[in-house]
Amino acid sequence: MQITGHLRKMMTALGAPVQYHLPLDDERVDMNALVGQHIRLTYLGEIHCTACGRKTNKSFNQGYCYPCFKKLAQCDSCIIKPELCHYAEGSCREPEWGEQHCLQDHIVYLANSSAIKVGITRSTQIPTRWIDQGASSAIPVFRVKNRLLSGRIEVIMKQHISDRTDWRKMLKGRPDDANLANKRDELFDICKKELDQVIAESGTDAVTRLESETPVNIEFPVSSYPSKVSSFNFDKTPEISGLLNGIKGQYLILDSGVLNIRKFGGYRVQIQTDG
């Protein structure tokens, strides 16, 4: 097999295990079928912006040219820090985009990736967000009316629990088992005063505690995990090859190192296999 195209983040579907397809322009490569095979990915020296298609010498924020990085709402700092959402102030870079993506129901969740963490995402991105983070299990704990509210709740909860994934630890194997429902109830108690204040300010119809949800378990197509994690960078190593031992999050796990596919959005590459 030999296919050429521009990288996008892998498409996923929850299954036992998760099903992965790698978009390369009009092609969709079944990556699960390649686990156990020797593969080669070659960067062909071209990057095209994932938003406008413009050729760029450098990629910003996982696939954008510099003009798009500066002007698009999806590249604003409030995407990383949702508690800074400024749509209500009238200063959103793209108000229509904000209405479609930020003024929609969001979920605050707990996930067990490298350890238990808190996170937020649009309700339509469940379970995609959990898969992309390499979570072995996850549970929704709040449903709220917009991104700003989800960010405010996340800020409260991350005083007591991390909001980050240790990607190296995540790629070394399954995390220790964790009772997410118990942790949810514990955080509800610890954060009660601050959470009640947010609910009082926002209205009970804007924030819903999800007290009876059960965890979703996620299995990834990995035959073996690395004991030591070393990552590839197409800008430094344009040709990457090795035995594909598995896929977790948005990472390809090869016997020679790991590759974060999402990081190289817009890069034109060729993928080859021995099959």
Do 196 and 230 share a domain, yes or no? no
pLDDT of residue 247: 98
Q: How far apart (Å, rounded) are the C-alpha atoms in residues 275 and 137?
A: 33
Cβ neighbours for 77, distance < 8 A, ≥ 6 positions apart: 84
Q: How far apart (Å, rounded) are the C-alpha atoms in residues 30 and 23?
A: 9
What does pTM read for this prediction? 0.94
List pLDDT tens digits, range 36-88: 999 999 999 999 999 999 999 999 999 999 999 999 999 999 999 999 999 88
**What does the block give as tokens for 122?**
């649009």
pLDDT of residue 275: 60
Do 46 and 74 share a domain, yes or no? no
Do 143 and 45 share a domain, yes or no? no
Cβ-contact 118, 108 below 8 angstroms: yes
pLDDT of residue 274: 76
Bridge partners (DSSP) listed for residue 138: 111, 216
Give the count of domains, the chain: 2
Question: With a cut of 50, which residues of the chain have pLDDT below it?
Answer: none
The whole domain housing 261 covers: 2-65+221-273
pLDDT of residue 72: 96
User: How does DSSP classify residue 116?
Assistant: E
pLDDT of residue 88: 86
The SS3 call for residue 78 is helix
Last residue of a domain, one of 212, 237, 260: 212
CA dihedral 83, 87, 88, 90 (to 10 degrees): 140
Do 141 and 174 share a domain, yes or no? yes
Do 98 and 182 share a domain, yes or no? yes
